[in-house]
Amino acid sequence: MPSPSAPCPIPLRIVACGQHLPSRVVTAEEIDARLSIAPGWTERHTGVARRHYASTETSAQLGAAAVRNMIEPLGASFTMPDLLLGASGTPQQPIPCNAALIAAELGWHGIPCFDVNATCLSFIVALQVASGLIAAGHACRIVIVCAEVASKGLNWNQHEAAGLIGDGAAAVLIDRDESGDSMLLNAKMETWPEGVALTEIRGGGSRMPAMEHRQGENTEDFLFHMDGPAVFRLAAEKMGPFVDRLVSANADRWSAIDWVIPHQASLPAIRHLRRRLGIPAGKLIETIQHQGNVIAASMPLALNEAIRSGRLQRGQTVLFLGTSAGFSLGGALLRF
């Protein structure tokens, strides 16, 4: 069992957020029809009424559009970042990294680019990486981009997983907060490899290269696989103690947290998480109903929605919380 880690507050400010969703909207009714299942099944089991699918847009194009939408309101106050950090679970291609492809779309030259990939927890991990670089003085301003086109790899024989996923991108600009008012209060990730095979795409890497794909024989090895019930059980077992270690085990811990932004895994999973952890319903940010599970982009998309709607205000505390393939749990406590 991992031992509790001491908080590691780092002066860090989220300056701006932006997002971009593909224009194609796919309803739950369309998913039901494609799967030849009873009307209402998809929304009832996933909570997703509609989601967006990329048509011709690439992951880099979605990410670049999110960055432009983030920059536009800043106007002349925007200065180029020291680093462009890609944080996605569905890279556009194996090489080069998504960040470099996004930089090419933006026409940004000379700015270092690299990716982190912790699937659905990539935003939290990117936030940790960025905070460490800022704290060490290696960077002052960093753009994190989560761009996902997951619809291309869905296995339509797995109804629930196929009905969950959406495409989209979100961008977040962070910098060092000299005032000390905004900060990353704590962040934590744990991996429990007994769940390593529960969520995976087996093909496309060095173990099963793309050239070994045989249409009709091993196609499902190259598509998204998730054992939803098993993931749910493992998350239910591990999440409570994980949150105790991340935040505290005190009964009144939610009084010090203004908002909780969970990974938008599925609506039943979010609601179960709320009940199991005792999170007050009014503190939970949900976007899954109209965006679906957008992998790593889910949390920054929900963050952007919380800011844009006026719910999240400066000085408030927000907890990011989720799970990812591996099986991993992750969380970050931020004073906005």
Q: Write the pLDDT tens digit of every residue in 265-324.
A: 999 999 999 999 999 989 999 999 999 999 999 999 999 999 999 999 999 999 999 999
Residue 235: is its pLDDT beyond 70?
yes
Whole-prediction pTM: 0.94
Residue 38: is its pLDDT beyond 60?
yes
- Which is catalytic among the residues 45, 159, 225, 263? 263
- Which is catalytic among the residues 69, 98, 117, 293? 293
Domain with 137, as residue range(s), is 10-175
Domain count along the chain: 2
More confident residue, 203 or 241: 241
Residues 64 and 147 in one domain: yes
Residue 220: is its pLDDT beyond 90?
no
Residues 77 and 54 in one domain: yes
What's the rounded Cα separation, in Å, for the pair 201 and 278? 34
Mean local confidence (pLDDT), 204-220: 88
Residues 221 and 293 in one domain: yes
- Which is catalytic among the residues 17, 120, 186, 225? 120
Kindly give, in sequence order, each residue whose CB lies less than 8 Å from that of residue 172, ignoring residues fewer than 6 positions away.
Answer: 14, 16, 17, 70, 123, 143, 144, 145, 300, 303
Domain boundary pick from 128, 159, 175:
175
Residues 192 and 330 in one domain: yes
Chain centre to alpha carbon of residue 332? 12
Residue 3 lies in a domain: no
Residues 135 and 28 in one domain: yes
Domain boundary pick from 132, 147, 175:
175
Mean local confidence (pLDDT), 148-163: 93
325: CATH: 3.40.47.10
Mean local confidence (pLDDT), 323-327: 94
Residue with tokens 């982190």: 116
Residue 44 lies in a domain: yes
Domain boundary pick from 175, 191, 225:
175
DSSP state of 3: P
Residue 4 lies in a domain: no
Residues 193 and 168 in one domain: no
Residues 22 and 164 in one domain: yes
Does the annotation mark 293 as catalytic?
yes
What's the rounded Cα separation, in Å, for the pair 33 and 29? 6
Determine the 3-state secondary structure of 248 from DSSP: coil
- 284: closest CA among 265, 302, 301? 302
